[in-house]
Amino acid sequence: MEIVLACDLALSVSHARFGLPEPRIGLAAFGGLHRLSRSLPMKHVMEIALRGKLFDAPQARAYGLINQVITPEDFEKEADCLIDDLLAAAPLAQAASKQLFLKGLKAPLNRRSFWGKIPK
């Protein structure tokens, strides 16, 4: 799951399993917990981190961890469609959008110096 948390977009085959199983073997869920807490609501994070149970791809989609659940037969076709969509967009616009989004996570909503400026 930690790899998925590091991705901007994520597709999953329908039979995939996700989770932080560390608590089940006496460990703290360390690395993934930081990214997880920035990606999901607190109640979902606590459920995943404290119970240590694995969950399926539809549940990962419901949590918002992945963008799409795909059958194994259709996975390559759907991945190619996503790649085509990404390649069809303007790279500089994509980069600026991502930078503005990430910068916006750190900035207060009313900070005027943030709005209207594209990060360099």
Taking the domains of the chain in order of start, what are their residue ranges? 2-88, 89-120
Residue with tokens 């990060």: 119
Please provide the average confidence, as pLDDT, over all residues in the chain: 89
Single pTM value for the model: 0.80
Residue with tokens 């059958």: 71
Q: Which candidate, 19, 15, 17, 18, places its Cα nearest to that of 70?
A: 15
- pLDDT beyond 60 at 20: yes
Residue range 2-88 in CATH 1.20.1250.20: no
pLDDT 10s digits, 64-79:
999 999 999 999 999 9
